[in-house]
Amino acid sequence: MTSPEDESVSWRLIGPVSELSKKQCRLIYSSEGRDADVCLFQVNGEFFVMDARCAHSGGPLCDGDIEEADGVLQVFCPWHDYDFNLKTGKSSTGLQVCCSCAGILHCVNSCQDSGDRRSDLLLFGATEPLDFTSMLPANELSREGLD
């Protein structure tokens, strides 16, 4: 498993797990534009990352419903109801969105807060340099506002 010690991966602090756990989905905007944005999903304390756009027509996956069926967590595109496995990115339709190329998540325990209080921090890693402009809960700010 890749860790922050892996120098072939560019790591960026996303934030404290306690804060990130407050929203089911956050859209991480990339300075490279809409096609490079990723979704950070949080379901039952577990985090997943995948491309932000549906492989079918580019629908916003952060706006989709998340459901569990037969032990598989899936996000459904709000435009045409295509399903995507949160762990693999595969759809029952044969389409696939990228999970592994979107990035790697790694949780670390840190003494960043005041005193000895420890907090878990979530890191995002990618083999390409990371250049995200912002990370917001889905629907809080439109992509057009950043272009």
Predicted structure pTM score:
0.72
* CA–CA dist 46, 23 (Å, integer): 12
Please write the tens of the pLDDT for every residue from 66-101. 999 889 999 999 999 999 999 888 999 998 888 755
Position 99 scores a pLDDT of: 73
Position 141 scores a pLDDT of: 37
Position 126 scores a pLDDT of: 62
| Average pLDDT per 10 consecutive residues for the chain, totaling 147 residues | 62 79 86 80 87 92 92 94 91 83 63 49 62 48 38
Position 17 scores a pLDDT of: 83
Position 119 scores a pLDDT of: 59
